[in-house]
Amino acid sequence: MSETPSTDAPTNAKQRVALVTGAAGGLGREFAIALARRGHLVAGLDLADQSGTAELVGESFHPVRADVTDPDEVQAAVEEAAARFGGLHILVNNAGVYPPLEFEETTLEDWRRIMRVNLDGPFLVTRAALPHMKAAGWGRVVNIVSAVVFLGPPDLVAYTTSKAGLVGFTRALSSAVGGHGITVNAISPGLTRTETAARTTGADGGFERVRDLQVIRAVEEPGDLVSTLLYVCDEGSGFLTGQTINIDGGSAKH
């Protein structure tokens, strides 16, 4: 995990306002820190307490509380973030759940819960954020999917389906909003060392098993995703849209 960010940004970078969902910990916290270090103002949206992230990022961070599956909470949280920083330009749809489940033991409620968080969530947050990006004539939507969409592991059928849906969302939405100077891309991490991954897919030697299937023989860390996030959000990346960039140490050759 990164240390406290410095406040200096590259001199050619414009200061933008970013909203990162699921910023209380894990990848979302890493992304919030990275965007702030790049010089952006960052709002974090989460159900959980974000004081740990706020402490690490400092004054350029504003936490808003919402369940991404609740349209009213999402709308209010997005408006609060935009009002706090005077606009909204970058959205990282990162909040997600990935419980391992045997397919035949998966209940309809399990299935719907995974779809609600991983698909309804990005839909609702993006829909609320777009008017602000359109008003600015510039935007970056970044959807965090997963290398499982290429690998299809047996215990993550519902999760894989939800993230494959988010790849489709990325492609079609990029066509719908490109005329407004807004790009939409997806980043697909492999198994990455976060607390949640350590409790679930990475438990019982899972990190090591996945590492041994990679070309790059190291456990993926949240920091391994940062350069790609910053590249996708860069002022100079306006011609990159509708793409899914896979960062999994070479397991899936996408």
Ligand X SMILES: NC(=O)c1ccc[n+]([C@@H]2O[C@H](COP(=O)([O-])OP(=O)(O)OC[C@H]3O[C@@H](n4cnc5c(N)ncnc54)[C@H](O)[C@@H]3O)[C@@H](O)[C@H]2O)c1
Per DSSP (E only), the strands in the chain are 17-21, 41-46, 61-65, 90-93, 139-144, 182-189, 244-247
Distances in whole angstroms, Cα of residue 80 to Cα of each of 40, 67, 74, 223:
17, 14, 10, 28
Stretch that binds ligand X, among 40-48, 77-85, 127-135, 227-235 (CB under 6 A): 40-48
Report the residue number, 68 or 138, with the smaller CB distance to ligand X. 68
Q: What's at 211, amino acid-wise?
A: R
Report the residue number, 138 or 169, with the smaller CB distance to ligand X. 169
- What is the β-pairing status of strands 139-144 and 182-189? parallel
Binding of ligand X by 42 (CB under 6 A): no
Q: What 3-state class would DSSP assign to 57?
A: helix
Binding of ligand X by 90 (CB under 6 A): no
Binding of ligand X by 13 (CB under 6 A): no
Binding of ligand X by 252 (CB under 6 A): no
Binding of ligand X by 146 (CB under 6 A): yes
Binding of ligand X by 169 (CB under 6 A): no
Binding of ligand X by 94 (CB under 6 A): yes
Burial class of residue 242, CB neighbours in 10 A (0-12, 13-18, 19+): middle
Query: Which residues are at the interface with ligand X (CB under 6 A)?
Result: 22, 24-28, 46-48, 67-69, 94-98, 117, 144, 146, 189, 191-192, 194-197
